[in-house]
Amino acid sequence: MLTLTFLGVGSAFAKRNHNSNVLIELWKNSPAVDNQPDETMLIDFGCAGPMALHELKERAGFRYLSRDGKINYRNIQRILVTHQHADHIGGLEELALTNVFVLGDLDAGDVFKPQIISSMNILVNLWDTSLKGGLSPLPGRYAMLQDYFNIHALRPTPTGYRPYILADRYEFDIFATDHVRIERKYDWPSYGVEIRDLRGGESVFYSGDTRFDFEAYEERMERSKIIFHDAQLHEITSPVHALLSELRTMPRDIKKRAVLYHYGDDWDHPQFAFVADEFAGFAKPHHRYVLFE
């Protein structure tokens, strides 16, 4: 069984909810039977990620994330990075430093390195322009990304990237999203993820951060049993997220499967009450969604 739990469901600037990062868990049987999952993966880990995990580890069913009252980062085995905004990568410095200096022993060579998964262009820039400042200084030397993580750069193919395969069964297929345009569409790398169960053939759509682009995602959404879609509640003239008004133009059967996330702090204002009827509702933080049985 594969499950997905939102550490947070908020927009980059939300304060009532944490950043839109998710914990993927793979279970031999199910969370009701197993003490802890066999495999774990975060999709993104932003500034609010550590606080979100700190809260989540106290909840029933998530106690395996706790060690002496602190976050047991050793149980986060891999992180898939969709793009470089701080609400998606801002927690990685804490995760890396905790693995080395709190849970590990650098001198003894006992350091747990989770896998870090993304395209090559994200991984290179992630280090050079985001993480290097805080993570390069180590006592006596300068560190590199591979001192903290096992690097898994997804192989480019003529049409996209070769999917990451978890436990020979689940495929994580990243696709380019139209998030921030510097000069033109797709010129600043950012990704969504289609997760597929190779055994049952089912798939789930996770938009990542993106402008509304129904044509680009239609085929993937069409075949997905659950659609997690980024949503911006209020209109602005140059959006970098999908506006709620745009999402409402999607076909009815797509909307009924669409769980909206990455939303602002006023989601519970009565003006958004229609979302519960028109869509599959707003994503619930700390709720374990079953992706595949």
Evaluate whether 8 touches 285 at the Cβ level (below 8 Å). yes
Q: Looking only at residues 186 through 225 of this chain, which bind Zn ion when binding is defined by CB under 5 A?
A: 209
Smallest gap from Cβ 179 to Zn ion, in A, equals 6
Does residue 87 touch Zn ion according to CB under 5 A?
A: yes
Does residue 178 touch Zn ion according to CB under 5 A?
A: no
Which of 18, 57, 85, 220 binds Zn ion (CB under 5 A)? It is: 85
In 3D space, the residue among 152, 84, 144, 158 whose CA is nearest the CA of residue 114 turns out to be 152
Q: Where are the beta strands (DSSP E) in 207-253?
A: 224-230
Q: Where are the beta strands (DSSP E) in 16-57?
A: 22-26, 39-43
Smallest gap from Cβ 226 to Zn ion, in A, equals 20
Q: Between 173 and 209, name the residue whose CB sits nearer to Zn ion.
A: 209
In 3D space, the residue among 213, 211, 44 whose CA is nearest the CA of residue 118 turns out to be 44
Q: Between 94 and 209, name the residue whose CB sits nearer to Zn ion.
A: 209
Smallest gap from Cβ 87 to Zn ion, in A, equals 4
Does residue 44 touch Zn ion according to CB under 5 A?
A: no
Which of 12, 154, 254, 259 binds Zn ion (CB under 5 A)? It is: 12
Q: Between 24 and 100, name the residue whose CB sits nearer to Zn ion.
A: 24
How far, in Å, CA of 88 to CA of 262, rounded?
A: 11
Provide Rg for the chain, Cα atoms: 19
Q: Between 114 and 208, name the residue whose CB sits nearer to Zn ion.
A: 208
Per CB under 5 A, which region of 2-10, 12-20, 103-111, 269-277 contacts Zn ion? Answer: 12-20
Contacts of 261 (CB under 8 A, 6+ apart): 6, 9, 20, 228, 229, 230, 231, 282, 283
Q: How many residues bind Zn ion (CB under 5 A)?
A: 4
DSSP β-ladder status, 66-67 and 141-142: unpaired
The binding site for Zn ion (CB under 5 A) comprises 12, 85, 87, 209
